[in-house]
Chains A and B, each alone.
Chain A
Amino acid sequence: MRSVFLLSTALAIQVLVAASGYAECITGGCHEALGRFSYPHAPVIDDCLSCHVAATTGHPQGGEKNFKLAAEGAALCAQCHDAFSGEKGMHAPVAEGDCLACHRVHGAAYPHLLDFGDDLSSLCFDCHDKASFTGAYLHGPVAVGECTSCHDPHVSGEKSLLKKPVRASCLECHADFAAKLQAAKIVHEPVRKSPCTDCHNPHAAPARYVLKEKMPDLCWSCHAKMRDRLSKVRVRHAPIDDAGSCSNCHSSHFSQVPGLLPESEKAMCLNCHGEDQLGNPPLKNIRTQLLEKQPARPARGKKQEVAQKEKQYLHGPLQEGRCAGCHAPHGSDYFRLLTGPYPEGIYAPYQEGTYGFCLECHDKYMLRFQDTSLYTAFRNGNRNLHFVHVSDKRKGRSCRICHEPHASNSQKLIGESGMPFGDWQIPVRFQPTATGGSCAPGCHRPFGYDRDSPVDYRQEKP
């Protein structure tokens, strides 16, 4: 009984195949090659006549075409496949009905009747100029030829046949970026308002991160004023002209910190200015100026438990975590990238403007008058001792001789260890009192001063 059933099924298949002509076309010794594709077109398997119709009788007849196509171009394909229409953008071969520009008709080595698998670059570059997809830096999908990970090969409502709007296309893969962007307090304006392709070339670019131009040139295209300013300044901050350029200090897309900094301003600056190795000669290690001296080495076997603390007094801007209060982070005409004039040498007699940088915040009249009751507490009676120090026409003492610019454990940022003077560090030995103070520096004999009861120096024995 079972054998009777199998026989009847085999007969039925034979009848069907014979009816479609498949056996004759593929196995008849003429079109055998059409049966060897890894991915044959479905009709090739069982229905050649769905596309080919007999034009004459008595096939095969040598030297003549006995079949013709059931329809021409895309109309033939549309017999089975839905036609593409109604979209904004249509791939040119689709629009022209030239499906075979990309697809093989009978079968191919890869799915979708294509001669190429994941790497479609060879197929696409048949028409698209490869030069646009060549550069020092390639977008990942371009590098592996996965054009269709972003583009729809047939039709799309988006420009450039993108499957989704530009930002959505990008964020679909860059999901970690999308999550951080969502949570960011501050977003760079082009990221917020413009497509990613304003800055990035989605295919290939000469600059890192497939940027259309290298930084800072790319950044200058919007920040032209900064470009102009920095083209004139005496000193540019070195990172600008370093490989990472603007991105050495700025997070290009978003940040939790104003100025699009990747971390707090002070921490950011100390990344470079808080170590001993960077630069030639090495940059000053400001971190060591801010912190207490390293505690004594712990006894053997005991852990170092005390974290290094900042000194007791920080300069005002640093108390707020700001370095840019005094230093122009991009470039400056002044010493140490300061925001205003300050003498480079340790001696500079006061003249209007000489100490303009310090006097932007500190009382602008502090150094100007020999006598004052208003502009400084460093005075003996009304004798302005700042004036006394800085007004000497030959050796007016600059602020740094007595004051630390960043931090100190002494009031008024008076230097503790003193300013380097050759091999010697000039001590200040400042001792404040309620109405004045005293110092016993390396510069002169010990002197006291008192605002309320001025010291008569003539009465003091040298």
Chain B
Amino acid sequence: MARITLVLSVLVALSGSMLLSGCAKGPAKPDPGPVFWPSPPAEPHIQFLGGITDSVDVEGEKTGFSLIVTGREDPYYIKKIGKGSGITAHGGKLYVASTGFGQVVVIDIANRTFDYLKDNAGSGKLKKPVNTAVDEQGNLYVADTGRDQIVVFDAAGNYLRAFGTIAEDETAEARIVDVAVFKNKLYALDNRAGLVRVLDPETGRQLDSFGQDEVEEKNNLALPYALTIDARGIVYITNLLSGRVLKYDVDGNFLDGLGRLGQSFGEFARPRGVAVDSGGLLYVVDAGFSNVQVFDQQKRLLGFFGTPGRPAGSLNLPAGIAVTTDNLEHFQKLAAPGFRLEQVIFVVNQYTSPINPSISVYGYGSMQK
């Protein structure tokens, strides 16, 4: 199966030809047509739009040819994502933590750029970045389990600071696996202590923590993997040990929980990345099932997508997930005729293959009547 590329898909879509196309690097395969979830004849809600694996998928093929400077063609280095982990969508950009390369890849969809973090060197050198968060000023917070620190960069990618010894007395063993920003606080997920640590983003000082105070054991964090915070301040945390997604608020009040370990619908094998859209739909990545399950606020399972077995759109050991309405007009060009996108979903595959890009891109929407 040919690689699925975003750029080529766009070009193909624009040319009015097939939506998904084999790129020049592989032999052409038959067009599978639009891939929807749920499957026809059910009303489609999710469409697989394409994928991003390297810089060519975003920037297109560059020759680097320049007669003026060198008189010959400069080499164009293809940048890859490698083994990805978490992904954050903010301000029209995607921030992808690459544990494989010790990098954060910054992808600007509108401007079609694909860059590594500029100041990933010296004090800012990342070892094993697993997740990221961006604040309102554009500052980037990277949870690095190799450094056991949160490393902070400014909007231009310049290294600012790092903090790891969050509160020496109790968090020396902290292992921060995910970060999120809400208002002027940083929420760091410590999977070793099973806590959300509320930090001052300037100093790293711990202001509060929560996650182990509930009487019912199942409502406490248990090997948490990822967290996300919605616009209202509700925190959703996936837990590998309990197979539950726990819902707190940013003040640390426990609100609710859903799921358990199991193989039925709505249960989890290895819940990983989690995201909430503006309508309150909850997306939970499961590395065991290699799919994403979607729930509403009443904890009803609405459906799932990405499950292997399709000619395209399958996930391969997925980890992070991000949902955004940014750049919708660009992705709308990839959608099937009549399928109106409302938001775009990015899921990171830890392993790539001819049919699994580093980032699988899905559109959430509805077929226009």
User: B250–A374 contact, CB under 8 A?
Assistant: yes
Question: What total of chain A residues lie within 8 Å of the partner, measured CB to CB?
Answer: 9
Please give, as numbers and ranges, the residues of chain B lying within 8 Å of A373 by CB-CB distance.
233, 250-251
The answer, yes or no, to whether B232 is at the interface (CB within 8 Å) is yes
**A382's contact among B232, B233, B251, B255, by CB below 8 Å, is which?**
B251
Please give, as numbers and ranges, the residues of chain A lying within 8 Å of B249 by CB-CB distance.
365, 369, 372, 374-375
Query: Scoring A residues 361 to 404 as 1 if CB is less than 8 Å from chain B, else 0, what string do you get?
Result: 00001001101111100000010000000000000000000000
User: A365–B249 Cα gap in the complex (Å)?
Assistant: 10
User: A373–B249 Cα gap in the complex (Å)?
Assistant: 9
Smallest beta-carbon distance A388→chain B, Å? 16
Smallest beta-carbon distance B199→chain A, Å? 16
Please give, as numbers and ranges, the residues of chain B lying within 8 Å of A382 by CB-CB distance.
251
Smallest beta-carbon distance B187→chain A, Å? 13
Smallest beta-carbon distance B236→chain A, Å? 15
User: Which B202-259 residues have a C-beta within 8 angstroms of A?
Assistant: 232-233, 249-251, 253, 255
User: A86–B80 Cα gap in the complex (Å)?
Assistant: 90
Closest residue of B by beta carbon distance from A384: B251
Please give, as numbers and ranges, the residues of chain A lying within 8 Å of B251 by CB-CB distance.
369, 371-374, 382
Please give, as numbers and ranges, the residues of chain B lying within 8 Å of A374 by CB-CB distance.
232-233, 249-251
User: Which B10-53 residues have a C-beta within 8 angstroms of A?
Assistant: none
Smallest beta-carbon distance B87→chain A, Å? 26
User: A365–B233 contact, CB under 8 A?
Assistant: no
User: A374–B232 Cα gap in the complex (Å)?
Assistant: 7
User: A368–B248 Cα gap in the complex (Å)?
Assistant: 13
Smallest beta-carbon distance B231→chain A, Å? 11
Query: Scoring A residues 124 to 165 as 1 if CB is less than 8 Å from chain B, else 0, what string do you get?
Result: 000000000000000000000000000000000000000000
Please give, as numbers and ranges, the residues of chain A lying within 8 Å of B250 by CB-CB distance.
373-374
Closest residue of A by beta carbon distance from B234: A374
User: A369–B255 Cα gap in the complex (Å)?
Assistant: 10
User: A114–B233 Cα gap in the complex (Å)?
Assistant: 88
User: A368–B253 Cα gap in the complex (Å)?
Assistant: 9
User: A375–B250 Cα gap in the complex (Å)?
Assistant: 11
Smallest beta-carbon distance B2→chain A, Å? 48
Please give, as numbers and ranges, the residues of chain B lying within 8 Å of A375 by CB-CB distance.
249
Please give, as numbers and ranges, the residues of chain B lying within 8 Å of A365 by CB-CB distance.
249, 253, 255
Smallest beta-carbon distance A330→chain B, Å? 27
Closest residue of A by beta carbon distance from B185: A373
Please give, as numbers and ranges, the residues of chain A lying within 8 Å of B233 by CB-CB distance.
373-374
Closest residue of B by beta carbon distance from A372: B251
Closest residue of B by beta carbon distance from A369: B253
Smallest beta-carbon distance B182→chain A, Å? 10
Which interface residue of B232, B233, B250, B253 has the most chain A CB atoms within 10 A?
Answer: B253
Please give, as numbers and ranges, the residues of chain B lying within 8 Å of A368 by CB-CB distance.
253
Please give, as numbers and ranges, the residues of chain B lying within 8 Å of A369 by CB-CB distance.
249, 251, 253
Please give, as numbers and ranges, the residues of chain B lying within 8 Å of A372 by CB-CB distance.
249, 251, 253
User: A205–B320 Cα gap in the complex (Å)?
Assistant: 72
Closest residue of A by beta carbon distance from B183: A373
User: Which A223-252 residues have a C-beta within 8 angstroms of B?
Assistant: none
Smallest beta-carbon distance A384→chain B, Å? 9
User: A371–B251 Cα gap in the complex (Å)?
Assistant: 7
Smallest beta-carbon distance B146→chain A, Å? 33
User: A375–B253 Cα gap in the complex (Å)?
Assistant: 11
User: A59–B250 Cα gap in the complex (Å)?
Assistant: 121
User: A374–B250 Cα gap in the complex (Å)?
Assistant: 8
User: A259–B279 Cα gap in the complex (Å)?
Assistant: 30
User: A369–B233 Cα gap in the complex (Å)?
Assistant: 15
User: A372–B232 Cα gap in the complex (Å)?
Assistant: 12
Smallest beta-carbon distance A170→chain B, Å? 40
Smallest beta-carbon distance A353→chain B, Å? 16
User: A49–B255 Cα gap in the complex (Å)?
Assistant: 105
Query: Scoring A residues 280 to 312 as 1 if CB is less than 8 Å from chain B, else 0, what string do you get?
Result: 000000000000000000000000000000000
Which interface residue of B232, B249, B251, B255 has the most chain A CB atoms within 10 A?
Answer: B251
User: A368–B232 Cα gap in the complex (Å)?
Assistant: 17
Smallest beta-carbon distance A360→chain B, Å? 14
Smallest beta-carbon distance A362→chain B, Å? 14
Smallest beta-carbon distance B255→chain A, Å? 7
Smallest beta-carbon distance A296→chain B, Å? 47
User: A250–B253 Cα gap in the complex (Å)?
Assistant: 47
User: A292–B294 Cα gap in the complex (Å)?
Assistant: 50
User: A372–B252 Cα gap in the complex (Å)?
Assistant: 9
Smallest beta-carbon distance B359→chain A, Å? 32
Smallest beta-carbon distance A370→chain B, Å? 9
Smallest beta-carbon distance B126→chain A, Å? 32
Closest residue of A by beta carbon distance from B233: A374
User: A14–B253 Cα gap in the complex (Å)?
Assistant: 119
Please name 13 pairs of A and B residues whose Cβ atoms are closer than 8 Å in the assembled complex, sorted by A.
A365-B249, A365-B253, A365-B255, A368-B253, A371-B251, A372-B249, A373-B233, A373-B250, A374-B232, A374-B249, A374-B250, A375-B249, A382-B251
Chain B positions near chain A (C-beta within 8 angstroms): 232-233, 249-251, 253, 255
Chain A positions near chain B (C-beta within 8 angstroms): 365, 368-369, 371-375, 382
Q: What are the 4 A-B residue pairs with the smallest beta carbon separation, nearest first?
A: A369-B253, A374-B233, A372-B251, A373-B251
Beyond known contacts A368-B253, A382-B251: 13 more, CB 8 A cutoff: A365-B253, A369-B249, A369-B251, A369-B253, A371-B251, A372-B249, A372-B251, A372-B253, A373-B251, A374-B232, A374-B233, A374-B249, A374-B251
